């Protein structure tokens, strides 16, 4: 992938002190290959794998994305399709542009103009669907055909390979964290906090941290209060639908149903489920701005969840005591709606300093 490099992992000592924990590490997915979220890691790998399956073989010899585009040019006219609440769709549109394909992205009604324009800037056709994210998913699934691949990050009966590949693609984040920790001699975090929409990112976290060497890292998943489908499913023991409309400003997490392929890992591998409201997300955006991180509403959810977990600790002894421990939050998104960012944080994106020091 062009412009690939590991994203920063860094220490936020002032935030850690404010939260009363030993150390806070932030993995900042606010800029990844030129896009404002981690999603391209899943979209790129899943697109590649879906194309191989479609052709019934690997492409011929290729060394960079332009070679690959040439190798698969015979498929054209060809389209990539998905549903999104913003970031995944932009990543799929980005892949389509790199490969010389068309892209059509189905979005829930009422999506912020800035997010739609970001997808259009990649050359995608953006089609608004009456209803929420789950309606957009259902609509996109009907597009599959000889000249059209659906590259979805969530799964449904009969559609599981691509969303599994999306999860595999996300493993890069956790490998990078390990490399950065190894390079600096830091030990593994005691707690890792991950935002959850359909749970694909968390499924990648479970695969990584539930490997035999890391059983002691606690995993906490964060969702909006009215779209806590993974938490609700975990309590029920089976995947549950939390019907919309889901109105949180953490739009990337406004999902009513966990991904089928993620579910077995979510059911067994997540230790704590936290649901937060929009005020908590706004506060976390402001906190992160103080730490020189420009985080969007969804991206800040992990810090909001960590704060909520720590606040609940006084009422629940079973929660981990992090007084001298290390928590790692994955900030999954930069500011994808600059006007909303200004309203919430009270500052323009450009006025938030970027003076952070990577631990690597």
Ligand X SMILES: Cc1ncc(COP(=O)(O)O)c(C=O)c1O
Residue 50's CB is within 10 A of a number of other CB atoms, namely: 18
The verdict on 152 binding ligand X (CB under 6 A) reads no
Stretch that binds ligand X, among 66-74, 104-112, 156-164, 199-207 (CB under 6 A): 199-207
- Of 199, 224, 239, 256, which lies in the binding site for ligand X, with binding defined by CB under 6 A? 199
Q: Tell me the window of 140-148, 193-201, 211-219, 347-355 that interacts with ligand X (CB under 6 A).
A: 193-201
Chain position carrying tokens 């600096």: 184
Angstrom distances, CA of residue 156 to CA of 25, 88, 153: 35, 17, 10
Position among 7, 30, 37, 172 found at the interface with ligand X (CB under 6 A): 37
Residue with tokens 């970001």: 118
Q: Which of residues 116-135 bind ligand X (CB under 6 A)?
A: none
Q: Which is nearer to ligand X, 72 or 166 (CB)?
A: 166
Dist CA 254 CA 237 (whole Å): 21
Kindly state whether residue 108 participates in binding ligand X, applying the rule CB under 6 A.
no
For position 155 contacting ligand X by CB under 6 A, the verdict is no
Q: Which two tokens stand for residue 59?
A: 């492409």
List helix spans (H) across 102-193: 113-120, 133-141, 161-184
Q: Is 123 left (phi over 0), alpha (psi -120 to 50) or beta?
A: left
Angle between helices 40-55 and 87-99 (to 10 degrees): 50
- Cβ 119 to ligand X shortest distance, Å: 13
Whether the ω angle into residue 245 lies within 30 degrees of 0, i.e. cis, is: yes
Based on the shown chain and the rule CB under 6 A, indicate whether residue 239 belongs to the binding site for ligand X.
no
Applying CB under 6 A, does 257 fall inside the site for ligand X? no
CA dist., res. 286 & res. 149, Å (int): 39
Choose between 72 and 198: whose C-beta lies nearer to ligand X: 198
Instruction: Please identify, using beta-carbon distances, which residue of 201 and 275 lies nearer to ligand X.
Output: 201
Residue 200: exposure state from Cβ atoms within 10 A (0-12, 13-18, ≥19): buried
Nearest approach, Cβ of residue 68 and ligand X (Å): 25
Q: Does 201 bind ligand X (CB under 6 A)?
A: yes
> Per-residue string for binding with ligand X, 276-315, x by CB under 6 A?
----------------------xx----------------
Give the whole-angstrom CA distance, residue 92 versus residue 165: 14
Chosen residue from 89, 189, 252, 256 binding ligand X by CB under 6 A: 252
Which among 71-79, 82-90, 233-241, 343-351 is the span making contact with ligand X, rule CB under 6 A?
82-90
Separation CA 227–CA 174 (nearest Å): 25
Residues that bind ligand X (CB under 6 A): 37, 39, 85, 87-88, 153, 195-202, 252-253, 298-299, 332-333
């Amino acid at each position: 992938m062009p412009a690939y490099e590991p994203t920063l992992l860094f220490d936020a000592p002032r935030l850690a002190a404010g939260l009363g924990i030993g150390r806070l590490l932030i993995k900042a997915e606010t800029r990844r290959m030129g896009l404002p979220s981690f999603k391209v890691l899943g979209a790129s790998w899943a697109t590649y794998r879906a194309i191989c399956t479609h052709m019934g073989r690997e492409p011929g010899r290729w060394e960079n994305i332009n070679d690959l585009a040439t190798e698969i040019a015979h498929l054209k006219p060809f389209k990539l399709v998905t549903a999104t609440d913003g970031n995944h769709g932009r990543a799929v549109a980005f892949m389509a542009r790199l490969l010389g394909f068309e892209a059509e992205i189905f979005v829930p009604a009422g999506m912020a103009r800035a997010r739609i324009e970001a997808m259009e800037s990649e050359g995608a056709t953006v089609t608004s669907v009456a209803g929420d994210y789950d309606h957009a998913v259902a609509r996109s699934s009907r597009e599959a055909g000889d000249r059209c691949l659906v590259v979805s990050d969530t799964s449904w009966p009969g559609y599981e390979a691509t969303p599994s590949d999306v999860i595999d693609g996300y493993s890069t984040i956790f490998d990078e964290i390990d490399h950065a920790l190894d390079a600096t001699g830091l030990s593994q975090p005691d707690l890792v906090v991950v935002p959850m929409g359909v749970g694909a990112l968390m499924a990648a976290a479970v695969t990584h941290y539930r490997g035999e060497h890391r059983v002691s890292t606690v995993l906490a998943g964060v969702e909006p209060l009215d779209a806590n489908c993974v938490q609700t499913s975990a309590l029920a023991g089976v995947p549950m639908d939390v019907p919309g409309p889901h109105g949180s400003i953490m739009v990337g997490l406004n999902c009513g149903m966990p991904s089928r392929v993620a579910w077995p890992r979510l059911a067994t591998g997540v230790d704590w489920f936290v649901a937060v409201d929009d005020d908590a997300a706004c506060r976390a955006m402001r906190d992160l701005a103080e730490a020189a991180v420009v985080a969007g509403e969804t991206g800040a959810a992990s810090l909001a969840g960590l704060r909520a977990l720590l606040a609940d600790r006084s009422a629940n002894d079973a929660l981990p005591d992090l007084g001298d421990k290390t928590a790692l939050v994955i900030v999954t998104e930069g500011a994808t709606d600059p006007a909303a960012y200004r309203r919430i944080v009270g500052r323009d994106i450009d006025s938030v300093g970027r003076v952070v020091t990577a631990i690597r």
